[in-house]
Structure 1
Amino acid sequence: MKVLNDADLARAEECLLRDGRLIDRHRFALHFRGGRAEPVLAALRPYENPDGGYGHALEPDLRGEGSQPVPAQHALEILHQAGASDDPAVARIGDHLASITYEDGGVPFVLPSVRETPHGPWWRASGEERGTINPTASLAGLLHRAGSDHPWLGPATAFCWRHLEDEGAEPGPYDALAILMFLDHVPDRDRAEAAFARVRDALAAPATLDPSAEGAVHSPLDFAPAPGGLGRRLFTAEVIDAHLDALIDARGEHGGWDVNFPVWTPVTRHDWRGFLTVERLRTLKAYGRLKP
């Protein structure tokens, strides 16, 4: 079983200092150096907009300043990591989501305003006024995890249940990740377990089981970044262990991890490298792959 030692962690820290955004440097310090939550929260504030949403490249491939749904997802995750699920920003996110929700109860993948700012070519607004399971399910799951009682959650949760009960197309990888976030945290646990049992094969299908696969693939660890979630139940222990070994081997010479999807403008490589380095280390820590 491969593990990372203190020297490996120091190299990752150098990678953050060289390439990482301030917010990811503070997240690294919080998780691996006994750092305080306050600097993380302070670094998050400039990404927030007056409407309660988030922009300003908090999602590295959305370079505009305007609020978009997925950056709100990033913000909720960072607030949780900082132990700040009771922060007033959580309610403000709910207010923002309510302002962009369609009649079906869901939010779009990306708002049409994306066309007016630099963005990765895969961020395309559909032009249809209907919600999408990604990121509605992620946002609903994260707000449920935060203990929110925001009115947005009622229609959004109903939207997610309807999607899960539909016998339509199988989910793509990002849809599956969103569904897992929702099922992990929605309060109705009996209904969540029943839905998981019904769709578990479809949720596992987008994962690439070969640890040596290259290109824009999704590892089982993307679906099971920690042992406790429903995603862990999609894969055997042998598969998880093989991918943990492969994750350790995938570090770059810079000491961190890069994305495996296209980089469309140079700065995003560094933004993603810092973000992913913290996330990959969090996964290794969760599975006991950091040497004490």
Structure 2
Amino acid sequence: MEKISNEQYLQATEFLKSKARPLEKALFAFEFENGSREQVLEELTLYQNEDGGFGNGLEPDFRCEASSALATTIGLQHLIRIGADESDAMVQRAIQYALNTFDEEKMGWEIVPKEVETAPRAIWWNYGGDWPWGNPSAEMTGLLHHYKGLVPEDFLEKLTAHAVAYINEEATNDFHELQCLVKLMKELPSEEAEKIAARVREIAHHSVTTDPVKWHDYCLLPLQVVYVPTSFLYEDFQEIIPANIHHLASNQAEDGSWKPTWAWGRYEDVWEIAKQEWSGVLTLDNLRVLREFDAFS
């Protein structure tokens, strides 16, 4: 399997240390250089609101300060990465936000709040869009399982049953939803995960782009769902993984980063800021994946 050179790795690390947001810098230091867990928490605090949810541009494509379910899933994933448990105040507040904003009628969460339209954002981020249930409700369900000690047991059982039924009967081939389903699978008890495994696998075969020619466009790469060799989808995409690693290695920018393959189409001055932030997020994500597949020289 192809590996990225030591020079490429050093260029990526230099980009993260000099150009990424303080949050990604702290996460990189923690995950790759034995850095401080407390520094990650300090940076994450800047994105958490009084209501316990995360906002304030944590998701770079919408800049509103208000909390959102989507940004809160991102915040909680970062907390999991640094090993924050149910005794952590940030975790407790975020889980309480999720419980407080649950929509009984939708049996899930609105992806973004009304306030999304009050600040610069990508053209697709508007309130009340036709988003599939799983994005982000499937991911949020998985996060509630991860921190199940903070969640009423009967509520979690009811939500999980809804998730299983939805995935098997209504889930779409939307690749953003698939990413949420994969994250849910990771957190579910094995007997629940088994109930949806076949359907998630079927969606993956419809949604993951396996044609290398198309990987330069906005699409779902194999390594975005098989980001560790222990993924339940690994065998499904095993043959294409080396080519996808080659694609990452050969598409690193001169400054050491990986750039987004999309653009906002408006608020161009703010997009330049968001683009830089995304470059930090994507560079860190790609280094994580390359390390998992032992693709460093």
Question: Same fold per TM (> 0.5)?
Answer: yes
**Equivalent of residue 116 in structure 2, options 89, 114, 117:** 114
* Contact kept? 1:60, 1:271, Cα under 8 Å: yes
1:269: Cα distance to partner?
0.7
How much does 1:91 deviate? Answer: 2.1
Find the aligned partners of 2:100 and 2:235 in 1 and give their Cα distance.
36
Residue in 2 that maps onto 1:241: 242
Matches of 1:230 and 1:32, distance apart in 2:
25
Question: Can you list the C-alpha shifts for 1:22-74, whole angstroms capped at 9, x where unaligned?
Answer: 01011111122221211111111110001000111111012011101111111
Alpha-carbon contact 1:112-1:127 (below 8 Å) kept: no
Q: What is the 5 A alignment of 1:237-276? A: 237-264=238-265, 265-276=271-282
Which of 163, 166, 175 is equivalent to 1:163? 166
* Cα distance, 1:141 vs structure 2: 1.2
Distance 1:176 1:76 in 2: 19
Q: Does 1:58 align with 2:52?
A: no
Shift of 1:89: 1.7
1:85-136 deviation digits (Å, cap 9, x = unpaired): 33222221121112222114200122222122222111122278x9821101
Q: Please identify, of 108-117 and 144-153, the stretch whose mean Cα deviation from structure 2 is larger.
A: 144-153
2: distance between equivalents of 1:95 and 1:282?
Answer: 29
Q: Please, what is the CA RMSD of the aligned residues?
A: 2.0
Residues 59 and 114 of structure 1, relative CA distance in 2, 3 Å threshold: same
Residues 122 and 131 of structure 1: CA distance in aligned 2, closer, same or farther (over 3 Å): closer
Alpha-carbon offset, residue 83 of structure 1: 1.4
Amino acid at match of 2:263: P
Structure 2 CA distance, aligned partners of 1:9 and 1:42? 26
- What residue is the counterpart of 1:180 in the other structure? 182
Contact kept, 8 Å, 1:219 with 1:243, in 2: the verdict is yes
3-state SS of paired residue (1:230): coil
Counterpart in the other structure of 2:268? none
Instruction: Determine if the alignment matches structure 1 residue 13 to structure 2 residue 19.
Output: no
Superposition deviation, residue 145 in structure 1: 2.9
Q: After superposition, where does 1:77-116 map in structure 2 within 5 Å?
A: 77-86=77-86, 87-103=88-104, 104-116=106-118
Residue 91 to residue 8, structure 1, CA distance change in 2 (3 Å): same
**Deviation of the 1:169 alpha carbon:** 5.8
Structure 1-normalised TM-score? 0.91
Residue 8 of structure 2 aligns with an amino acid whose one-letter code is D
Rounded Cα–Cα distance in structure 2 between residues aligned with 1:27 and 1:133: 27
CA separation in 1, counterparts of 2:118 and 2:156? 29
TM-score of the superposition, structure 2-length normalised? Answer: 0.89
Higher deviation after alignment, 89-98 or 271-280: 89-98
What count of residue pairs does the alignment treat as equivalent? 287
Cα pair 2:259 2:282 within 8 Å, conserved = yes
State yes or no: 1:277 paired with 2:283. yes
Distance 2:71 2:81 in 1: 15
1:221 matched to 2:223? The reply is: yes
Aligned-residue sequence identity (percent) comes to 28
Which structure 2 segments of 5+ residues have no match?
Answer: 266-270
1:290 is aligned to 296
| CA–CA separation in structure 2 for the residues paired with 1:40 and 1:116 | 28
2:127 to 125, 128, 133: 125
